[in-house]
Amino acid sequence: MTKKVVLAYSGGLDTTVCISWLKSRGYDVIAFTADLGQGQKDRDVLITRARIAGARKVILKDLRKEFIEEYAFSALKAGAIYEGKYYLSTALSRPLIAKYLVKVARKENAQAVAHGCTGKGNDQVRFEVGIKALNPNLEIIAPLRNWEFKSRKQEIEFLKEKNIPIPLKKSKYSIDRNLWGISIECGELEDIRCEAPEDIFVLTTSPSRASDKPQEIEIGFEKGIPVSLNGKRYSPVELVERLNKIGGRHGIGRVDMVENRLVGIKSREVYESPAAVLLYLAHQELEALVLDRETLHFKSLISLKYAELVYYGLWFTTLREGLQKFIDYTQEKVSGKVRLRLYKGNVKIISRNSPYSLYSVEMATYSEKDKFDHQASEGFIKIWSLPFIKRK
């Protein structure tokens, strides 16, 4: 009996070779492509290429809404940023794709799923842990960890021999793109002594070439979720798309970092995430206004752990789901508006406003409106300092 396998298909060289490679080993291949806002211009070309390569069936699904609402915005509410710089754009997409690989496998009665990840990257872990969490009975195939090809050149020759259209990349870099951001690596970036060349950037203008005129925007939130821009409500996908364009025009959202991969090696990564940078900053300012000190400080610890869980591929775990419930509870009053000024790669907070603000002018002021009881501080300080008094 021929085994069916569902392949996470990007349309690129590696996964196109995967289709033919799997078919040559007796698998009936179903190619699955998730639209996460990666800018796939010609779907017909992708479908045709997959079928010529040997796919029995090609399935494309628009997951942009689910990706932003349930994954990106969940991380936003958590304040999750890996190692202080990475907004988890690629990492957040992998569990969602894994979820649909399992769904498609169930619907198509497939016995296996496959991906085109290398043996030293993070994504192989994210895919496989997610798949195992959702259906441990599925066989998982990782051709790039096992096949005979040692170079991109050999893969191209393999496709030429089989008369399969070759999806040649114009870029020498490895690029992964979705609505939440772009991840860029390889090529010249592997030399950490060199500045990232300007030609790698897709979403962002160089700050030095950005507009000389600052732009102010206002982002509105309801229960931690961004819902409006400059007073007008947008769907989550539309809002992110607009903020990517606005932030990108002003050179906002570039990150160049050496990060610690899950598999134990350090790698240089360059990211573009204009919308995420703007939304995180606005969200943090609103939280500072409405959350009490202890909740705010404790949540910062949760944010670090949440980011690690996402980065490590542990989305479908009890801990991540439990932390999400705590995070969602903290967001009940994270509603209001934050005004930002964008200028040449920089973002400045102009104003914040919330009906649940804990800020009191009467308590904070040093003017005649001051209602703070200064004399009460003396007793407070005496009690507060008791544990720290050294007695001989």
- DSSP assignments along 14-65, one per residue: HHHHHHHHHHHTTEEEEEEEEESS-----HHHHHHHHHHHT-SEEEEEE-HH
Res 40: pLDDT: 63
State the pLDDT at residue 82.
97
Q: Say which residues have a Cβ less than 8 Å from residue 206's Cβ, sequence separation at least 6.
A: 198, 251
Max CA separation in the chain (angstroms): 88
Q: pLDDT above 90 covers what percent of the chain?
A: 78
b/e map of 213-228 (b: 16 or more CB within 10 Å)? eeeebbbbbeebbbbe
Provide DSSP, 292-333. Answer: -HHHHHHHHHHHHHHHHHHHTT--SSHHHHHHHHHHHHHTTT
Domain residue limits, the chain = 3-62+89-172, 180-353
Examine the residue annotation and report whether 123 is marked as an active-site residue of this protein: yes
Taking a C-beta distance cutoff of 8 angstroms, is the pair 228, 238 a contact? Answer: no
133 CB-contact burial (10 Å; exposed 0-12 / middle 13-18 / buried 19+)? middle
Query: Is 193 annotated as catalytic?
Result: no
Buried/exposed code over 41-71 (b: 16+ C-beta within 10 A; e: otherwise): eeeeebbebbebbbbbbbbbeebbebbbeeb
Show the low-confidence residues of the chain (pLDDT under 70). Answer: 1, 40-41, 167-171, 392
Q: Residue count of the chain, please give it.
A: 392
Find how far residue 328's CA is from the centre of its chain.
19
Q: How far apart (Å, rounded) are the C-alpha atoms in residues 236 and 284?
A: 18
Is residue 94 part of the annotated active site? The answer reads yes
Neighbours of 279 (CB within 10 A): 25
Please tell me which residue in 35, 174, 256, 261 is annotated as part of the active site. Answer: 174
Fold of 3-62+89-172: Rossmann fold (3.40.50)
Q: Is 242 a catalytic residue?
A: no
Of the candidates 123, 268, 303, 354, the residue annotated as catalytic is: 123
CATH architecture of the domain formed by 180-353: Alpha-Beta Complex (3.90)
Let me know how many helices (H) and strands (E) the chain has, helices first: 14, 14
pLDDT for position 169? 62
Q: What's the first-to-final CA gap in the chain, in angstroms? A: 84
Q: Give me the helices (H) in 203-290, please.
A: 236-249, 274-290
Decide: 109 and 4 in contact? Cβ < 8 Å: yes
What's the helix, strand, coil split of the chain in %, to 5? 45, 20, 35
> Which residue is it, tokens 């990666």?
38
Give me the pLDDT at residue 1, please: 66
Give the pLDDT score at 366: 82
Amino acid occupying residue 354 = S
Q: Which of 94, 126, 177, 254 is catalytic?
A: 94
